[in-house]
Structure 1
């Protein structure tokens, strides 16, 4: 799936970023239409999460095997600000603890038994170190954070970098050599390594999205009325305008009198290495089978 997408974009990071950005913007528009439609039945509280919150001894029956990327301190601070703003409007939502934040680079096995997950992890044993240390020699950068939403959760998404330099944005450049190796190339390579070791990747859905879940619904009453949902979406759209202003690379910096402003960037594997994570890891839990070096 990743290989087909990269071929369709001619492996050009500028085109890749544009396609990824278009996809996430389209999804927000579709979800806005859905959430405000007359036949909308209300948000979908996460019952597994509710069970866990009501009973700390609850064991999630869904076992998974994934590659995780942990956010940098700068990204974590940004998430904390976003969560604080979301809670002002909906204090009943569940926000992902900062120490549990993660981005799924690759979902290898999902909703499986412990035995199935352990079997796949055993097959991958010879290549685990290669997978978690892949970013040491394959640097990839994510930029332009934006909130995406639906009837279950809110996520902070990014897009692969496309040659933004330290003097401002340069999306229209064809020569984006700094970022020829994108996050999607990393995901594709990780999938290939799994296949070469006898494990076929079985993700829940095919997506090019680069996102972290930052909040989930655990109750319906705060968004039961159309007016409440309109305010919720308005808050997210307002936060996205703030993100674009504060975290995107900006052109004409001197004209704006703001000095240098290159935006927020996240090098995958910086500060904390990749992790191979297993078991009940839906909400940041689970166990790390292998942890890579950071740079």
Structure 2
């Protein structure tokens, strides 16, 4: 998925991080302008989620096959604090339950029938355990959490580490993009072409979704919402980013090793909101 980007960056973690940072900051700037414009009428409500909340027997027809990473305890605690602030300003927002929090490391196939997903699983069965255990061989570290500004959801994104608070940048030579690239290659080499909805460098978890416009129905409410997200990003930077010039100022709150505490999971089914089932689990380290 990222062969060209990694080659252009000479596999240098610093260049890779810089690219990912530019992408997410630029996207936030674009979406902020869009959401504060007169043309935008509120936020985009998630109709599938709304049906699921209103109809107990509703079955989401979109079936996926994905590789998930679950947050560590420290990252989960940080998300809980963020969600509390979001609910305080927008009580009508839906926040992702802690048991459903996940980052999609790789979306292999999406929006298929259960039978089509089952066929892909059968094809990949011989390599699923190796995929789930890949972080045991190649460890990748994420840092610098930041909230994404979006008119459809709120996500917490990270960037690949590049030697921050470590002896050498070489400690972070294998980045999140390398991990995604390798898992994609393994899937393709074992018979299932990766058909993700979009190829993005973003490493993010959705922490909230919009199910109504009652909290964002006018320009003043939207301005207040954006200001809250920006204030939370300052708080995240002050409390959860590695401190420049303080090499010993790092702990589990500042970083996330993928597969640490909780291993990668291969999951199938209606996965959009944390549902579905795990068909293979890796080994945590």
Q: TM-score range by the shorter chain?
A: over 0.9
For residue 111 of structure 1, give the secondary structure of its aligned residue in structure 2: strand
**Corresponding position: 1:17 with 2:14:** no
Q: Map of 1:205-244 to 2, 5 A cutoff? A: 205-244=198-237
Give me the whole-angstrom Cα distance separating, in 2, the residues matched to 1:11 and 1:44: 37
Alignment of 1:1-295 (within 5 A): 1-166=1-166, 176-253=169-246, 260-261=249-250, 264-295=254-285
Q: Hey, what's the Cα distance between the residues in 1 that align with 2:73 and 2:93?
A: 23
Q: TM-score, normalised by structure 2?
A: 0.97
**Any idea what SS the aligned residue of 1:5 has?**
helix
| Offset of residue 261 of structure 1 | 4.4
Give the distance between the partners of 1:43 and 1:201, measured in 2 at CA. 31
What is the DSSP-based 3-state SS (H/G/I as helix, E as strand, rest coil) of the residue aligned with 1:221?
Answer: coil
Counterpart Cα distance in 2 of 1:115 and 1:253? 53
User: 1:202, 1:218 → 2: CA distance?
Assistant: 28
2: distance between equivalents of 1:148 and 1:179?
24
Deviations 1:172-213 (A, max 9, x none): xxx510000001100000000001111000000110100000
C-alpha distance after superposition, 1:94-132 (max 9, x if no partner): 000011000000000101111110111110000011000
TM-score, structure 1 normalization? 0.94
Q: C-alpha deviations, 1:1-51, integer Å up to 9, x for none?
A: 311111121110000001101100000000000001111122111010001
Secondary structure (helix, strand or coil) at the match of 2:11 reads coil
Alpha-carbon distance in structure 1 between the residues aligned to 2:31 and 2:260:
33
Alpha-carbon RMSD:
1.3
SS in 1 for 2:91: coil
What is the DSSP-based 3-state SS (H/G/I as helix, E as strand, rest coil) of the residue aligned with 1:266? strand
SS at match of 2:129: helix
Q: CA deviation at 1:253?
A: 4.1
SS in structure 2 of the partner of residue 187 of structure 1: helix
Asked whether the equivalents of residues 155 and 205 of structure 2 are also in contact (C-alpha less than 8 Å), the reply is yes
Gaps of 5+ in 2: none
Unaligned runs of 5+ in 1: 168-174
CA distance in 1, matches of 2:63, 2:190: 21
